[in-house]
């Protein structure tokens, strides 16, 4: 039974729901003072063994999470807060981390089946990026397994793997661990950990086991249900050791791996630590060179990052993942038929028909800019465009990438363009371009800087390298005008607010799985003229709140009443908030 109930306060956080009771802590979701959801672990401080306390004063997990300060790496869960609370005579310590919505790798495999080679490698690379960060702080994770990796779906549809559980994080251990080890997953543990030895190499083994799980849908050497041993540590260890005396299965009727991937798995899962990869960076580099050689230039040498930090340079930018254009394409974009036809005619046709483009001497397209007010669906059009085209692509977000006047950003962009050239034909999608290439002149006059010249050099006539740049912006006037010219951005398209059909679709999407009466979506679309997707979502949520308060289904009348007093955030008719011209 949980110690804290829904609605109770712990520090400045309110309990939302109980998740589980672990070996040393209870887990909850909580609401913060900002009304955001967070993940919280609560520890009964008096029951924590002394060896699991840092200097006898603080739970090791809390101390090391603060030391790690994982806000710097998006592949590791972010530390938010910690504190102490008293209930009755019992003192509790608590740790608050970011809460991620998504699905764990374990659940993803159990529901959808094993991953294909490229996706499994992409996920493992992100995990290794997180591990490299942890190891750079002289820490070991000790519990890499599928249920500890969350797949977050980002706004662009990409899946971002994040290490979400730091319950066994420690310094290197050779003896008594500073954490409970009974709940570690036996098939994902390195052989030496059964002797209480935990190092970087044991994390490498666990990541190899994770990669194997993604490819085969089961753990390496998994040949029995260890729950039959009822938690007997010695019997479990003996059973795992016995299973590992057999050769590792690297091919089945369903899974056919290339020889280089078999070699990678054998090295990562070597029973002797000395035969494994020396670091997470070496593991990642080997996969990049053999599985995706065109991406190997994106990796930094393991020692380069600490050295760069010592020299005052910024850390490397956000992780960049490449995808093959596939999916529903423009079918995802309801309405906006005129815009989709423009893009098909003026951009996609020539790219899909290079011979006809050459015959008619159609000009090459280097860049496409999509602009319009916030919330009008530019990001959706951007992703759908990449899917419709069918080339390899990546989507980077301006606020995450940073601007070209920050250290390291131009270098990251150059590596991206270099990798795109190797993987061409390729589409580089930049969401919110005004953050990447801002106009440094307050009056908006053109002022060519060395940084913008370098970016111009990457983009200018990039079509000759089979690279297309597609970008979005809310404010084209804030972009450096040096790249707003033919040769960089040859086509500029206005993305309007959702039209009638699009608004109907957005209403339907937000009404899914809510208790409601029969709804006239045509009327709602008429009443919400000039609303963007965010406005519609807000209107539906207000209607749902009113209906819930009164204990009735959401009705047409409630929705109409909400729409009657709401105004669009950005009006393209009155020019409030955004000016098309």
Encode burial over 149-185: b for 16+ CB neighbours within 10 A, e otherwise: bbbeeeebbbbbbbbbbbbbbbeebeeebbbbbeebb
β-partners of residue 95 are: 41, 82
Please, which pLDDT band fits residue 304 given cuts at 50, 70 and 90?
very low
Residue 12 has pLDDT above 90, yes or no: yes
Q: Residue 70: which pLDDT band, with cuts at 50, 70 and 90?
A: low
Residue 426, CA distances (Å) to 121, 363, 371, 472 in order: 20, 18, 21, 17
Tokens (6 digits) for 581: 């011209």
Nearby residues of 465 by Cβ (< 8 Å), 6 or more positions away: 420, 421, 424
pLDDT at 71 over 70: no
- Return the sign of the alpha-carbon dihedral for residues 355, 360, 364, 368: negative
Distance between CA atoms of 209 and 145, rounded to whole angstroms?
8
pLDDT at 286: 87
Distance of CA 297 to the CA centre of its chain: 21
Mean pLDDT of 323-328: 57
Instruction: Inform me whether the pLDDT recorded for 14 exceeds 90.
Output: yes
**Per-residue pLDDT for 314 more than 70?**
no
Distance CA 192, CA 199 (A): 9
Task: Please report the pLDDT score of residue 190 as a whole number.
Answer: 93
Q: Provide the pLDDT for residue 81.
A: 93
More confident residue, 308 or 424: 424
Q: What is the mean pLDDT of the chain?
A: 84
Task: Give whole-number Cα distances, 323 to 158, 327, 365, 383, 427, in Å.
Answer: 9, 11, 21, 11, 10
Residue 196 token pair:
């209480």
What CA–CA distance (Å, rounded) separates 187 from 502? 49
Residue 179's pLDDT is what?
Answer: 83
Are the C-beta atoms of 432 and 474 separated by less than 8 Å?
yes
3-state secondary structure string, 467-503? EEEEEEECCHHHECHHHCCCCCCCEEEECCCCCHHHH
> pLDDT grade, residue 566 (50/70/90)?
confident
Most confident of 145-154, 155-164, 427-436: 427-436
* Dihedral sign, Cα of residue 57, residue 61, residue 65, residue 68: positive
Q: Report helix angle 117-136 to 200-216, nearest 10.
A: 160
Nearest alpha-carbon partner for 409 in 465, 439, 442, 452: 452
Angle at 296 between CA 367 and CA 277, to 5 degrees: 155
Task: Give the residue with greater pLDDT, 370 vs 448.
Answer: 370
Adjacency order of strands within the sheet including 102-104: 102-104, 149-153, 159-163
pLDDT at 281: 87
Residue 552's pLDDT is 94
133: phi then psi, degrees, rounded to nearest 5: -65, -45
Buried b vs exposed e over 254-272: b needs ≥16 C-beta within 10 Å? eeebeeebeebbebbbbee
Give the number of other Cβ atoms within 10 Å of residue 69's Cβ: 12
* Band of residue 408 on the pLDDT scale cut at 50, 70, 90: confident
Q: Supply the pTM of this predicted model.
A: 0.54
Domains present along the chain, CATH in parentheses? 9-98 (3.30.200.20), 102-310 (1.10.510.10), 323-494 (3.40.50.300), 500-565 (1.10.8.60)
Return the structure tokens found at 308.
């760069």
Residue 102 has pLDDT above 90, yes or no: no
**Residue keyed to tokens 């600490």:** 306
pLDDT at 197 over 70: yes
Is the distance from CB of 408 to CB of 419 less than 8 angstroms? no
User: Does residue 310 have a pLDDT over 50?
Assistant: no
Q: pLDDT by residue (tens digit) across 207-241?
A: 999 999 999 999 999 877 776 766 677 888 888 88
Q: What is the mean pLDDT of residues 399-418?
A: 86
Of 105, 95, 12, 98, the C-alpha closest to 58 is 95
Q: What's the pLDDT band for 309 if we cut at 50, 70, 90?
A: very low
Q: Residue 174's beta-bridge partner residues?
A: 197
345: DSSP letter: I
Query: Looking at 27-36, 91-100, 194-203, 567-576, which range is the least confident one?
Result: 567-576
Average pLDDT over residues 147-152: 89
Q: How far apart are CA 343 and CA 368, in angstroms?
A: 9
Identify which has the larger pLDDT, 23 or 444.
23
> In 3-state terms, what secondary structure has residue 162?
strand
In 3D, which of 303, 306, 287 has the Cα closest to residue 295?
Answer: 287
13, pLDDT greater than 70: yes
| SS3 per-residue string spanning 502-571 | HHHHHHHHHHCCCCECCCCHHHHHHHCCCCCHHHHHHHHHHHHHHHHHHCCCECHHHHHHHHHHCCCCCE
Q: What integer pLDDT is reported at residue 1 of this predicted model?
A: 75
| Contact of 441 with 406, CB cutoff 8 Å | no
Q: pLDDT for 484-527, tens place per residue?
A: 888 899 999 988 888 888 889 889 988 988 999 999 999 999 99
How many Cβ atoms sit within 10 Å of the Cβ of residue 240?
20
% of the chain beyond a pLDDT of 70: 88
Q: Can you tell me the mean pLDDT for 234-252?
A: 88
User: Are the C-beta atoms of 65 and 95 separated by less than 8 Å?
Assistant: yes
Integer Cα distance of 287 and 299 in angstroms:
11
Lowest mean pLDDT among 78-82, 107-111, 189-193, 446-450: 446-450
Q: How confident is the model at residue 308 (pLDDT cuts 50, 70, 90)?
A: very low
Give the pLDDT confidence score for residue 530 in this predicted structure: 84
């Amino acid at each position: 039974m949980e110690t804290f109930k829904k609605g109770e306060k712990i520090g400045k956080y309110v309990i939302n729901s109980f998740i589980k009771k672990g070996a040393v802590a209870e887990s909850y979701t909580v609401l913060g003072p900002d009304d955001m959801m967070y993940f919280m672990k609560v520890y009964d401080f008096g029951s924590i063994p002394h060896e699991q306390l840092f200097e006898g004063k603080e739970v090791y997990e809390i101390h090391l999470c603060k030391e790690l300060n994982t806000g710097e790496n998006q592949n590791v869960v972010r530390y938010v807060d910690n504190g102490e609370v008293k209930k009755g005579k019992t003192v509790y310590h608590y740790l608050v981390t970011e809460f991620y919505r998504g699905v764990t790798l374990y659940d993803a495999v159990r529901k959808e089946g094993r991953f294909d080679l490229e996706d499994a490698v992409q996920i493992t690379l992100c995990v290794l990026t997180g591990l490299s960060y942890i190891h750079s702080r002289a820490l070991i994770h000790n519990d890499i397994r599928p249920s500890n990796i969350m797949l977050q779906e980002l706004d662009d549809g990409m899946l971002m793997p994040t290490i979400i559980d730091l319950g066994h994080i420690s310094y290197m251990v050779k003896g008594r661990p500073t954490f409970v080890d009974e709940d570690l997953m036996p098939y994902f543990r390195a052989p030496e950990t059964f002797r209480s030895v935990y190092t970087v190499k044991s994390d490498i083994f666990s990541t190899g086991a994770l990669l194997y799980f993604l490819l085969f849908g089961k753990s390496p050497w998994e040949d029995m249900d260890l729950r039959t041993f009822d938690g007997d540590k010695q019997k479990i260890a003996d059973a795992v050791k016995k299973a590992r005396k057999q050769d590792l299965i690297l091919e089945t009727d369903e899974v056919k791996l290339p020889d280089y991937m078999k070699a990678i798995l054998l090295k990562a899962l070597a029973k002797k630590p000395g035969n494994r990869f020396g670091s997470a960076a070496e593991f990642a580099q080997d996969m990049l060179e053999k599985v995706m050689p065109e991406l190997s230039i994106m990796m930094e040498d393991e020692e380069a990052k600490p050295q760069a930090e010592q020299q005052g340079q910024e850390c490397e930018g956000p992780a960049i993942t490449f995808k093959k254009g596939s999916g529903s394409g423009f079918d995802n974009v309801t309405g906006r038929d005129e815009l989709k036809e423009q893009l098909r005619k003026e951009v996609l046709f020539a790219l899909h028909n290079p011979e006809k483009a050459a015959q008619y001497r159609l000009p090459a397209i280097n860049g496409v800019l999509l602009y319009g007010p916030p919330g009008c669906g530019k990001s959706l059009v951007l992703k759908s465009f990449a899917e419709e085209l069918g080339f390899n692509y990546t989507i980077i977000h301006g606020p995450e990438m940073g601007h070209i006047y920050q250290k390291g950003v131009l270098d990251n962009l150059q590596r991206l363009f270099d990798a795109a050239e190797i993987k061409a034909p390729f589409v580089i999608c930049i969401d919110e371009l005004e953050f990447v290439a801002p106009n440094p002149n307050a009056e908006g006059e053109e002022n060519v800087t060395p940084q913008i010249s370098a970016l111009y050099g990457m983009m200018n006539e990039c079509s000759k390298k089979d690279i297309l740049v597609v970008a979005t912006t809310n404010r084209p006037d804030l972009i450096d005008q040096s790249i707003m010219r033919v040769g960089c951005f040859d086509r500029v398209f206005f993305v309007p607010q959702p039209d009638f059909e699009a608004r109907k679709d957005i209403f339907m999407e937000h009404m899914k799985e809510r208790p409601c009466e029969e709804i006239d979506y045509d009327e709602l679309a008429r009443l919400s003229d000039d609303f963007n997707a965010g406005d519609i979502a807000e209107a539906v949520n207000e209607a749902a709140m009113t209906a819930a308060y009164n204990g009735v289904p959401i009705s047409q009348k409630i929705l109409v009443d909400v729409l009657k007093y709401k105004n669009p955030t950005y009006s393209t008719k009155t020019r409030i908030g955004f000016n098309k011209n």
